A and B are shown apart, each in its own frame.
Chain A
Amino acid sequence: MKDSHAHPGHGAGHDHGGPQSFWRKYVFSVDHKVIGIQYMITSFLFLLIGFGMISLMRYQLAWPSPPDDFDPEKLGMIRGTLAWLLGDRMEYGFMKPDFYNQLGAMHGTIMIFLGVVPLGVAAFGNFVVPLQIGAPDMAFPRLNMMSYWIYLVGGIVMLSSYFAPDGFPQSGWTSYAPLSVVAPPGQTIWCIAMIIIITSSLFGAINFIVTMLNMRCQGMSLGRMPVFCWAQLVTAVLLLVAFPVLEGGALLQLLDRVAGTSFYIPKDMMYGSTVFPAAGGGSPILWQHLFWFLAHPEVYVLLLPAMGVVSEIIATNTRKPLFGYKEIVGSMILIGVLSFVVWAHHMFLSGMRTSLANLFVTTTLTISVPSVAILTCLLLSLRGGAIRFNTPMLFALSFLPMFGIGGLTGLPLGFAPTDLHLHDTYYVIGHFHYVVAPGSLAALMGATYYWYPKMFGRRMNDTLGKIHFWMTIVPMNFIFFPMLFQGMHGMQRRLADPTLQWHNLPVQGWSVIMLFAVVTLAIGQIPFLFNFFWSLRNGEVVEENPWNSTTLEWACPSPPPHGNFLKEPVVFRGPYEYSVPGHKTDYLPQDEAA
C-alpha cells in the first residue's frame, strides 16, 4: 500500500477505473465518510435496542411484584402483552430475576461498547476528523472498513447470546468473577464478543492516531487542530493502551470458563452444594483490577469526544473564539494521562489492601480538576458571544450543566468515606448516567444535527429538533435525579425487586415517576428518527458552510466527494477565528487566504 498523501483533486492513494458498483460504494466502501455513516446508523440501532431493554427493566422496577389483590387470571393490557411476548422469562407478567439480570448486563454492555463509543468515536470521528485536518481519507482506509465489519460481527455475536441456554449474559456489564465464571453459557459468548469488539476498536485507534499525526494538510500544525480532533486523538490513545488489558482479562475469564483454569477461582470455592472443580489458587480481585484498568479510561472515551463536539458547536454558535483553547487541550491530555491511575476507586470496598484507597482517592479527586477546567473554559466561551440557539447549540449548551451534575456527584463517590455508604447504590447509577446520557449522548445528538448537513447536503428540521431536545433533556432529569435520592437512601444496584427489602420502600415511589419519564423520553425520540429520515429527501438543501463555521470540514462540498477537497487545503490560522475585528464577515475560515 502506498503511503497516503494528498494528491490535488485525487483520492487516497488509490485509483478507480470507473464508477463503482452499489456494493463497493455504499456497503464495502473504504471511504471514511461512508464508514462513518455506517457506524452511525448501526450504533443508533444498538442504542435503541439497549434503550428497549432498560425500558422493560424500568417497567419492572416501577411495580416489581404483585400487589395483595393480584389476580393472575386478569393481567392488564401491558402486563398481559409482556407475559405473552416473553413467555417463561416472566412470571404472571412480572420479570424473573435471571431475566432482569440478563437485561441489566446487556443494557450496560450494549450502550457502552456497541452504542455510545462507536457513535462518538467511530461514527463522528471517522466522518469528521479527516475533513477537519484537511486529509483526503484516513491513513489506512481498508483497515477502517475492516474495523466496521468486525464491530458489526462483534455486536451480532453479543446479541446472539440470547439464544444460548439460559439466555443473555447475566453477571453485569462488569462481569465480576467468580460469578461470571460459574454463570450460564451466555457469558462465554460475552467474552468472545468482547474480544472481537476490542479488536475492532484497536484497529480504529491505530488508524486515528496515524491519521492525525501524519496527514494534516499544509499549515495545520497540531496547535491549529480543532478541539474535536484533539479529543479524538487522546481518546484513541486511551483505547489503544487500555483495551488490551481487558482483552487479556477476558481471555483469562474465557479460559476459566472453558479450559478449567483458575485465574479467578480461589481454593475450595463452592458451587451450589459441591466444590467447584478447579485447582484454585486464583484471585477474584484480579479480574476487577484488569477490568477497571480499561473500564475507567473507557469512561473518558465516552466523555472526551462529546466534549470535543460541544466545543465545536459552541465556538460556531457563539461567533467568538473558544475560551482557553490551550487550557482545554492540555486538560484533555491531562485527563487522558490521569485516567490510568484512578481505576481502583471502583474497588474501595473490594477487599483490596485498604491503604491503597488513599492513593486512589487522591488521584481521583485530582482528575476532577482538568474536567472542571474544561467546563469552565466552555462556560467562559459564552461570555461576550452572540449566541445562536439552534438545535445543535441547545444540546451543546445543556451538556454543560448536565455534565456538571454528573461530575459533581462523582465527588462523594471518589471520596472513600462517603463511598462507604454510596458504593453499589443507585447514587452511582445516577452519577454515571448524568455524564453519559444527558451528557455524552445528548452532545452526540447535537453532533447529529450539526454535521447532518455535511453528511447529506440537507438540514434537519429545526422545529422538530427543538421538540426532540426538550422531550429528551427534561425526562432524562426526571429519570436520573431521583436515582440520587434512592441511592442516598441506600437502595442497592441490580435488584430485580427492590421492594423485597423493606429499607427500600421509602424511596420506591420515585421508580414510578421514573417510568413515566422513560415513556416520555421514548416518545421524544420519534421526532428525531422521523426527522433524520424525512430530511434525507425533504430537508432544506445546503451549500458548503451552512453554519458559517471556520473549521475545514465546512470548506468542501456537502456531502464531500471521494477525496474530500477539490484542492488540498492550506491553513493560515487557528480554528476559531470568529468576529475578527476589521474582517467583513464574523468568521474567518482556517483556509481563507489572508
Chain B
Amino acid sequence: MSTAAATAAAAHGSQFDTNTGISHAKLGTWAFLASEIMLFGGLISAYVILRSGSSHMAIPPRALMGVPLATFNTFALITSSVTMVLALAAIKENDIPKFARYIGATIGGGCIFLVVKAYEYHHKWEEGITISSNLFGSFYYTLTGLHVLHVTGGILLMLFILITGLRGAYSPENHERVEAAGLYWHFVDLVWVILFPILYLL
C-alpha cells in the first residue's frame, strides 16, 4: 500500500489509500454531480430569464397545473431520499434485510413519482399544455422530462444496488457504491425540489 496515501488515510481517518482520503467512487460521483448541476442549472437559468423577460410565456392557470398532486409527488420523492439514508445506515449496521427493505422503498418512491408524472403529462396534454403549445409548455416538459430520465436512471441504479447488495457485495467496511448511489439519488431529489416551485408554485 502506498505510504503517502496511507499517511493521508491515517490523517483523514479513512480506509482508502487515496491522496484525498476519499474513495474514487465518491470523488467521481461528486465530480459527476457538478456537471449535472451545470446541466440543470443552464436550463433552469434559461427558463427563469425567459419567464421574467418574455411577454410571450403565458403561464397556465393554477388549477390546470395540478398543484396538490405535484405536492404529493414531491413528498414521495423526498421520502424516498429519507429511505435511502436509512438504507445506508442499515448497511453500516450490517443489517442486509433492513437495507433491502429501505432500498426497495426508495425504488418504490421513485416509481410512484414516475407513475404520477405519467398521469400529469397525460392530463396536461389533454388540457392543451403540450411541448409545443407555448414556451411554458416547452420548458415544462423539457425540464421535468430530463428530470424523469434522471429518476429512471436512478431507479435502475438502485435496482443494481439492491441486487448486488442481496448478493453480499456491501458491508460496514465496504459500502462506497451505496453511498455514491445515494448521493446521486439525493441530487435528483434536490433538482425536483427546485423545479417544483419554479414550475408549479410561482
Contacts and interface: CB of A to CB of B under 8 A. Distances in A.
Interface stretch (B82-90, B131-139, B189-197): B131-139
B35 interface: yes
Interface in A238-266: 240-245, 247-249, 251-252, 255, 259-263
A215 interface: yes
Given A219-B4, A281-B54, A241 B38 contact: yes
Contacts of B19: 213-216
Interface string B27-44: 110011011101111110
Nearest to A571: B4
Interface in B1-24: 1-5, 16-20, 22-24
A282 B135 contact: yes
Nearest to B38: A244
Contact of B35 (A3, A244, A280): A244
B5 to A, nearest CB: 6
Given A5-B5, A5-B17, A255-B138, A210 B28 contact: yes
A220 interface: yes
B201 interface: no
Contact of B49 (A220, A262, A281, A286): A286
Contacts of A189: none
A245 B46 CA distance: 10
A3 B2 contact: no
A217 interface: yes
B38 A3 contact: no
B42 A261 contact: no
A309 interface: no
A477 interface: no
Contacts of B18: 3, 5, 213-215
Contact of A278 (B25, B132, B176): B132
Main secondary structure of the interface of B (DSSP, over half): helix
Interface string A488-501: 00000000000000
Interface in B56-83: 56-57
A267 interface: yes
Nearest to B36: A244
B190 to A, nearest CB: 16
A247 B28 contact: no
Interface string A277-319: 0111111001000100100000000000000000000000000
A36 to B, nearest CB: 20
Given A262-B135, A263-B138, A241 B35 contact: yes
Contacts of B139: 263
Contacts of A6: 2
Nearest to A202: B35
A213 B27 contact: yes
B31 to A, nearest CB: 4
B138 A210 contact: no
A386 B36 CA distance: 48
A213 B4 CA distance: 13
B39 A3 contact: no
A282 B50 contact: yes
Given A249-B42, A261-B138, A213 B20 contact: yes
B135 A279 contact: yes
Contacts of B5: 5, 218
B24 A259 contact: no
Contacts of B56: 267, 279-282
Contact of A259 (B3, B131, B146): B131
A214 B36 CA distance: 22
A206 interface: yes
A11 B31 CA distance: 25
A194 interface: no
A290 B54 contact: no
B131 A260 contact: yes
A448 interface: no
A568 interface: yes
B56 to A, nearest CB: 3
A139 B17 CA distance: 12
B28 A248 contact: no
A140 interface: yes
Contacts of A259: 131-132
A4 interface: yes
A217 B2 CA distance: 7
A209 interface: yes
A191 to B, nearest CB: 14
Contacts of B24: 3-4, 139-140, 210, 214
Contacts of A1: 25
B94 interface: no
Contact of A286 (B17, B38, B46, B134): B46
A5 B1 contact: yes
Given A210-B27, A279-B134, A255 B142 contact: yes
A279 B40 CA distance: 24
A205 interface: yes
Contacts of B35: 202, 205-206, 240-241, 243-244
Contact of B4 (A217, A255, A279): A217
A202 B132 CA distance: 30
Nearest to A290: B42
Given A3-B18, A216-B19, 6 more contacts: A3-B24, A5-B18, A240-B31, A263-B135, A281-B50, A282-B138
Interface of B: 1-5, 16-20, 22-25, 27-28, 31-32, 34-36, 38-43, 46, 49-50, 53-57, 131-135, 137-139, 142, 146, 176
29 contacts: A1-B25, A3-B18, A3-B23, A3-B24, A5-B5, A206-B31, A210-B31, A214-B22, A214-B24, A219-B4, A240-B38, A241-B35, A243-B35, A244-B36, A248-B40, A248-B42, A251-B146, A261-B131, A262-B135, A263-B135, A278-B132, A279-B56, A279-B132, A279-B135, A279-B138, A280-B135, A281-B54, A283-B50, A286-B46
Closest 6 CB pairs of A and B: A281-B56, A260-B132, A218-B4, A244-B39, A245-B42, A214-B18
